[in-house]
Structure 1
Amino acid sequence: MELRHRALEVLCFSDPEQKAAATIDLHAQHALYPIADQSPVLTLPESELPGRPARPELKHHTAVARRSPATPEGRAVLIHAIAHIEFNAINLALDAIWRFDGMPEKYYHDWLQVAAEEAKHFRLLRDHLREHHGRDYGDYPAHQGLWTMCEKTAGDIVARMALVPRTLEARGLDATPQIQSKLRNTGAPDALAAVAILDIILREEVGHVAIGNHWYRWLCEKHGLDPEPLYLELTARYEAPRLRPPFNEHARRAAGFTAAEIAWLQQI
C-alpha cells in the first residue's frame, strides 16, 4: 500500500488505541511504503473526518469546564484536556500527509514522525489518567478547536503550515511551562508524574513546531512570498486565535521563530 493512502485510512479510524498503534506502526515501517504524487481519493464526506470515538462529548470551547489542578479531580480534567489535544494532533499530522500533493518526500516523512510522536504523547497521558486517577480518555467533555482550523485550511497548504503547527501548536510551547509550574506546586505524586510526561511532550513539540516553520518557509520561498507579512495576512484571513503572553521565547527560538517574529509577538 502507498503511504498517503494508509495515512488516510488511519485518520478514519475511530478507536483511539487503534489509531495510535497504527500511526506508530506506519512510522516504524515507513521505508516500505511508496509515496504517491497525487492525493488518495476520499470516499467519504469531509464531514466524517477525522474518525473519532463516541466519547468524549464535544462542546464549544467556552462550554468546557476548567478546574483547579489543586485537586485530584481537577488534575484529571487537565490531563484529559491535554490528551484530547494530543489525539487531535495525531489527526492533524495524518491529514497533512494525505491531503497535500506535490511536496518533497521528506515533507511526508516529517509529518509521519510528528504523528507517531503525538500518538506516543496520547498514550502516555491516557495511561496516566488510568493509573493515577482511575479515569480514561472520553470521561470528560472536550472541544474541537484544533480540527476546526484544519478544516479552514484544507485547501491551502501554506495557511495550514502557518496556522496549525506554528500558531496553534506553538501555543503549547508557551502554555506547558505554566501548567507544569501549577502541577509542581501541588506536590502531589500524580502531579509530579504528569510534569515528567509534559517534559517529554514539550521537548518533542519544539521539533514539531520547527517542522511547521521549515515547511512554511520552504513554501514561501518556492512561491516568492515574504513569510512574515504573509503570516499576519493569514491570521486575519482565517481568523486564527489571538496569541497571548507570556511567550516561551527559548522554545520558540529553538523551533525556528525569528527575532522579528518574537518581537512582533511581544507587541500584540
Structure 2
Amino acid sequence: MKIDLSGKSALVTGSTEGIGFAIAKGLQEAGARIVINGRTPAKVDVALSRLGGSARGRAIDLGTPDGVRELIAKEPSFDIVVNNLGIFQPSDFFDTTDEVWERHWQVNVMSGVRLARAYLPGMAARGWGRMIFLGSESAFNIPVEMVHYGVSKTADVALARGLAKRMAGTGVTVNSILPGPTLSEGVAEMLKADVASGKTLEQAGVDFVKAHRPTSIIRRPASVEEVANMAVYIASPLASATTGAALRVDGGVIDSLI
C-alpha cells in the first residue's frame, strides 16, 4: 500500500505541535503541500523549522470568526482540511463557567463549521476532497472531569457525519477520528506533576490510562504518530469508500462493538 498525495494541498489546524504536527508531517511525507497553523508567529516558525520542506505557516487564531475569515482570504482553496484545532481544560461541571463552555464551543466546534462552509464547495466543484475532524473517545465516554470538552467532541463527530451526508455523491469524503489518551505536549503538561515526582512520562501516561481509562485494551497512551497514521490514510485516495465514519484510534477505550 502506497499513499501518494502529490499535487494535493492540505491545511492542518492547530498543528504547531502534538497530533496536529504529526499529521502535517505525515501528509508532507506522502507528498502533500502543507499549510500549518497556530496562534503565534513564534510557535509557527518553530514548527516550520522542524517540518522543513516547502511547508508554509499561518499564525491565526481560528477560534474566532475574524480569524477564519483572515485565513480564507489568504488561503482560498485546499484539497484536504484536517480540523485538529482543539482545547481541553479539566474542570468540575459545577465550577465550569459559561465562558469556558463558549471558548470550547468556538475553538473545538465552530472553527470546523466555518472552515467546512468555506472549503467544501470548492472540493465539490473539483470532484475530490477530504475533510477530517479530530474527535475523541471522549465524544462517547464523556469524561466526568470535563463534561464541556466531551460535549464539544460529540458535536464534532455529529458534524462530520452530517457533512458527509450533505456531500453525498460529490467525491468529497468527511470523517472524524477518535483518538484516546495520546502522549502529546498537552497531555505531558497535564501529567507534569507525576513526572516531577520521579515517574517517566511514559509511566505517568500508563498510570493515567489505568486510573482514568480502565477500558483501554492497549493499556497505554498512543503516540501522536499512531493517530497521525489514520489521518494520512483517510486523507488519501485509498480511502475513497470511507465517509461519514467515526474512526477509532483509542486503544480500545470505547467499550462497544459499533
Give the alignment's TM-score, normalised by structure 2.
0.28
Q: Which has the higher helix share?
A: 1
Give the alignment's TM-score, normalised by structure 1.
0.27
